[in-house]
Structure 1
Amino acid sequence: MKTFGGPVLFLDRSDINTDEIIPAKYLTEITKEDLKPYILEDLKLPGFDPKGPKTRNARVIVSRANFGCGSSREHAPWVFEVNGITAVIGESFARIFRQNMFNCGMAAIELPKADLDLIFSHAQDDDAAVNIDIEGGKLTMSGGGKEKTFNFEISPFDKALVLAGGWVDYADQKY
């Protein structure tokens, strides 16, 4: 079974769009794997390096509201998938991006702003990590010698997609 969680990449901004996640000029690539080096290439945030170790080592992204806005392309979740990202945590997601995450077997977890503020308090912790229990609807943020657990909800169907490994694996198991 797939493990959800790991080291965190903090992207402290709302409205991160699909062009910032994977620039449109790479949409002609033939395979998902070909997208890998271009993750978050056009994202501009103070101190952010898309080629740096925090990006390379991340398994979870924590951001703010309206993550994945812009176009409806599946390439945005795909670039996360091939880079080992298992979950994105934010206050809200663009509807199609959110569903594309579930369809690819990754978690899009919505939390209230107050919970995200607590999670962002770990942004400077070198050991910041999240452990996610999809079935139990809990995630545990750890770092800097502290730990806190948060509850979240994913619809039963979307949870089944994530646990199955995505829509194709779900369909193979059910039909």
Structure 2
Amino acid sequence: MEKFTTLTGVAAPMPQINIDTDMIIPKQFLKTIKRSGLGKNLFDEMRYLDDGSENPEFVLNKPAYREAKILVTGENFGCGSSREHAPWALLDFGIRCVLAPSFADIFFNNCFKNGILPIVLPQEQIDLLMDDAGRGANAIVSIDLENQTITGPDGGKISFEVDQFRKHCLLNGLDDIGLTMEKGAAIDDFEARTHAARPWL
């Protein structure tokens, strides 16, 4: 998993509430078990018209937000089914951080396991960042995970809370497999002792 230390990029505004995982990545794209290739179908039903062409009104289709790395959105983001493809699609598009007043629990957990930082902020701070994000290509926001700060386009700073274990995992690029491999020497030692004590196993 790629480390998350600092992130600076364009923030895209999506003020809708209750954006569910089927809106993030519709069910017809869940056949793959690969984490790559889903970015083109992120927000598919909002992003494309019935004829397959891009919807020019959708925020991520606008020139200023095509390279967005941060999403500022409404409450209860990621509700619905527990599909891990939702953070996969966000990550494949290039989104590394989502700012919202609240998240669905399973989606929130899946973000950390896939290298995305979901940040919960009070509505009034989301409103400020939503206003910043409305500046288009000038909506440059910086996220500093180590210091737990968000710096807006005008230099104003907002502090955020994050679970310290999850922070450690993101800073060091550790998913569940990476955490297990950190214990590799202890696992090897256990296996050697077990084999010596019970060679018939």
TM-score by length of 1: 0.88
- 2:38 corresponds in structure 1 to 35
Name the structure, 1 or 2, with higher relative contact order (CA <8 Å, separation 6+): 2
Please identify runs of 4+ aligned residues in structure 1 that moved more than 6 A.
none
Q: 1:1-175, aligned counterparts within 5 Å? A: 2=4, 3-43=6-46, 47-126=57-136, 127-142=138-153, 146-167=154-175, 168-175=177-184
Alpha-carbon separation, structure 1, partners of 2:171 and 2:65: 25
> What are structure 2's unaligned runs of at least 5 residues?
48-54, 185-201
Given that 1:20 and 1:40 are in contact with CA atoms closer than 8 Å, whether structure 2 keeps it comes out as yes
Q: CA RMSD in A?
A: 2.1
TM-score, with length taken from structure 2: 0.78
The structure with the largest alpha-carbon Rg is 2
Listed as ranges, the gaps of 5+ residues in structure 1 are none
* More strand, by proportion: 1
Percent of aligned pairs with the same amino acid: 35
**Alignment-derived partner of residue 197 in structure 2:** none
Quote the offset at 1:50 in angstroms.
Answer: 4.6
Post-superposition Cα deviations, 1:10-30, rounded to whole Å, max 9, x if no partner, equal 101111110111111100134
Shift of residue 169, structure 1, vs aligned partner: 3.1
The answer to whether the Cα contact below 8 Å between 2:10 and 2:65 also exists between their aligned partners in 1 is no
Q: How many matched pairs?
A: 172
State how far apart, in whole Å, the 2-side matches of 1:9 and 1:17 are: 17
Distance of 2:63 and 2:179 partners within structure 1: 33
Name the structure where helix makes up a greater proportion of residues: 2
